[in-house]
Structure 1
Amino acid sequence: MAFVRYYVGDVVKMKKSHPCGSDEWEVKRIGTDFLIVCNGCGHQLLMPRPKFEKAVKKIISRLPENE
């Protein structure tokens, strides 16, 4: 299994959608916990790293300086 590196500003697609209907989230903080913000309604969620990594389907976009 490959190690995936996440950066602040990444937009990720989650396996399950948020109740607002959006499944795209922006990463605002990384570390032991991830702070992610829903792109649909702006809801903020603090999620432990193992749960976040299991819930992410793919990285949709990344800032150019992080590539």
Structure 2
Amino acid sequence: MAFIRYYVGDVVQMKKAHPCGSDEWEVKRIGTDFLIVCKGCGHQLLMPRPKFEKAAKKLVSRLPKHE
């Protein structure tokens, strides 16, 4: 399994959809915990790094400066 480095501004597709129906989240803060924001309704969620990395399905988009 490949290691994925996440950056602030990345949009990630999660394995489970949010109750609003969206499964895409934007990364707002990284570190020991990840602050992610739902792209559908704007709900913010603070999630520990191991739980985030397990729940993330794929990287949808990344800012050009991090490619």
Q: TM-score, normalised by structure 2?
A: 0.98
Q: 1: distance between equivalents of 2:23 and 2:37?
A: 11
Q: What is the CA–CA distance in structure 1 between the aligned matches of 2:64 and 2:31, rounded to whole Å?
A: 21
> Secondary structure of the residue that 1:50 maps to in structure 2?
helix
Say whether 1:4 aligns with 2:7: no
* Aligned twin of 2:42: 42
The structural deviation recorded for 1:18 is 0.2
Task: Within 5 Å, give how 1:1-67 maps onto structure 2.
Answer: 1-67=1-67
CA RMSD of aligned residues (A): 0.5
The one-letter amino acid paired with 1:27 is: V
Deviations 1:1-56 (A, max 9, x none): 22110000000000000000000000000000000000000000000000000000
Structure 1: where are the runs of 5+ without partners?
Answer: none
Question: Structure 2 CA distance, aligned partners of 1:25 and 1:3?
Answer: 19
The CA distance in 2 between the partners of 1:56 and 1:17, in whole Å, is: 11
Q: Which runs of 5+ in 2 are unaligned?
A: none
Between the aligned partners of 2:36 and 2:62, the Cα distance in structure 1 is 14
